[in-house]
């Protein structure tokens, strides 16, 4: 901490430090000069003052930050001196970087982000949709999971007087298995899922609580009436319905008992759930469709947490055996040989559940990777364009040797010639060229090839025309023409 305060003090009192450093250097030089008797020998013995000052600044301050600040100032001056070049470079890089940032944000949201739950690496997803009786058998008879929960995303769910809501039917141990605690109130518990329609409760998401209820703590205990208006409610094999008039079609009236934490969005990356309802409330939420007791209604997705010491490959092998046993029990004693062979060929695929249910990830991963490759090429092209501009600019600056005031020495002419040299194009012919390889305006006194280059009155060796004359480019200037005048 003392080191930090010392360096901050150096930045605040930089001028004072420089004065003290100069005074200390001068004091040591005087001491060495008195001791050696020769100031030059003392200076040689003392060493390079500039290097010693730099070493002292490194110890007392942050020279890396100062160099960075100097580089930024230099870059700002260079860009300000060439606004056209700066605009083209910034726009090119902004397009490439912006596109890559947007696509990578999608990839991170869909493919890379983990579920915000406790130990997501222990979760395993069953890549097969089950009926509710099959789910109950897997949950009861498995020996690889410490806990298994079921989910079903309810599409076209409407809340009375509140509008559409993204709802999900979940088993009672859903939040307990994931290790998610409520931000307000409580979560669903297994007692809410004991019998059909025995737990008319619900948990809302943090965003839905803020958006619809204004973040009021009075949301606990409020009633919300929901039902789905879709015919099959995202299920398959649903050909059995209640008789008309056998029950109310108004949906389920639920009591809000808790609010999920703000970081929890659900069990599938890329989606956001607003309302969690016990799975046994399905007949009330979807009136007229009693799927809890129908073995042909395939609508439950399953995820489990592995027992300690159990690997995913071991769990997959054990689940295949369990799944074949469940199918054999369903067939009963009247099973045929053909059905037995079919059951022996059945498999139950699993995958890691650290990123949740992977339907969206499997559906969009390939297009997103292709799109990321395309925008990566766009960024590469943008970088190549900027590199070409820098090379053309460097070639123009290196080729420029004139005074900068005549036609051939103007910045536009040299940039034109540099670009032509870079791309292999023919160079434009010089117009009213200045043949003097100098960079000072005072060295070029004439723009006409038929007149002397300058009118200097200095000696021939110091005259800037001497180099042009020695190369055979121009005649000497007027003051020195008599030196080479023929008799």
DSSP per position, 432-484: S--------GGG-----TTS-S----S-TTTSTHHHHHHTTSSPPPGGGGGGG
Name which of 25-39, 98-112, 137-151, 199-213 the model is least confident about.
Answer: 25-39
CA 145 – CA 464 distance, rounded (Å): 90
Q: How confident is the model at residue 202 (pLDDT cuts 50, 70, 90)?
A: very high
17-53, pLDDT tens digit by residue? 777 778 888 888 888 888 877 777 877 777 777 777 7
Q: How high is the pLDDT of residue 81?
A: 84
Counting Cβ atoms within 10 Å, is residue 447 exposed (0-12), middle (13-18) or buried (19+)?
A: middle
Higher pLDDT, 214 or 407: 214
Arithmetic mean of pLDDT over the chain: 78
Whether the full predicted model's pTM is greater than 0.75, yes or no, is no
CA 50 – CA 56 distance, rounded (Å): 10
Highest mean pLDDT among 16-25, 57-66, 139-148, 465-474: 139-148
Token code pair at residue 351 = 């995958």
Region 461-479 average pLDDT: 51
């Amino acid at each position: 901490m003392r080191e930090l305060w010392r360096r901050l003090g150096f930045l605040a009192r930089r001028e004072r430090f420089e004065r003290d450093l100069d005074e200390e250097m001068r004091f040591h030089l005087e001491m060495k000069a008195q001791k050696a008797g020769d100031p030059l020998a003392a200076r040689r013995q003392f060493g390079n003052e500039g290097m010693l000052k730099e070493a002292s600044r490194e110890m007392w301050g942050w020279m890396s930050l100062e160099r960075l600040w100097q580089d930024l100032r230099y870059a700002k001056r260079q860009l300000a001196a060439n606004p056209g070049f700066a605009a083209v470079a910034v726009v090119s890089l902004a397009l490439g970087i912006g596109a890559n940032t947007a696509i990578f944000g999608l990839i991170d949201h869909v493919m890379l982000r983990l579920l915000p739950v406790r130990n997501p690496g222990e979760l395993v997803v069953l890549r097969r949709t089950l009926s509710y009786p099959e789910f109950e058998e897997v949950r009861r008879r498995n020996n690889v999971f410490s806990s298994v929960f079921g989910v079903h995303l309810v599409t076209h769910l409407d809340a009375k007087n509140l509008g559409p809501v993204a709802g999900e039917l979940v088993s009672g141990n859903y939040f307990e298995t994931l290790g998610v605690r409520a931000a307000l109130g409580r979560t669903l518990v297994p007692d809410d899922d004991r019998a059909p329609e025995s737990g008319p409760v619900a948990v809302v998401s943090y965003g839905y609580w803020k958006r619809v209820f204004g973040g009021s703590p009075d949301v606990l205990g409020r009633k919300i009436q929901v039902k789905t208006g879709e015919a099959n409610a995202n299920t398959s094999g649903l050909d059995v319905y209640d008789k008309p008039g056998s029950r109310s079609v108004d949906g389920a009236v639920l009591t809000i008992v808790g609010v999920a934490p703000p970081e929890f969005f659900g069990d599938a990356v890329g989606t956001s759930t607003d309302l969690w309802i016990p799975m046994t409330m399905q007949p009330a939420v979807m009136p007229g469709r009693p799927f809890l007791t129908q073995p042909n209604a395939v609508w439950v997705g399953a995820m489990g947490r592995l027992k300690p010491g159990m690997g995913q490959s071991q769990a997959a092998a054990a689940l295949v055996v369990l799944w074949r046993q469940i199918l054999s029990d369903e067939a009963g004693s009247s099973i045929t040989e053909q059905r037995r062979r079919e059951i022996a060929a059945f498999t139950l695929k699993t995958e890691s559940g650290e990123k949740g249910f992977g339907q969206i990830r499997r559906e969009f991963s390939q297009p997103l990777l292709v799109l990321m490759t395309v925008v990566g090429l766009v960024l590469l092209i943008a970088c190549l364009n900027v590199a070409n501009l820098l090379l053309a600019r460097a070639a123009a600056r290196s080729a420029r040797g004139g005074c900068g005031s005549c036609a051939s020495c103007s910045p536009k002419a040299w940039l034109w010639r540099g670009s032509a040299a870079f791309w292999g194009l023919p160079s434009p012919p010089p117009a009213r060229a200045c043949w003097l390889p100098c960079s000072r305006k005072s060295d070029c006194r004439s723009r006409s090839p038929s007149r002397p280059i300058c009118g200097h009155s200095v000696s021939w060796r110091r005259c800037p025309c001497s180099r042009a004359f020695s190369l055979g480019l121009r005649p000497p200037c007027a003051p020195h023409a008599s030196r080479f005048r023929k008799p």
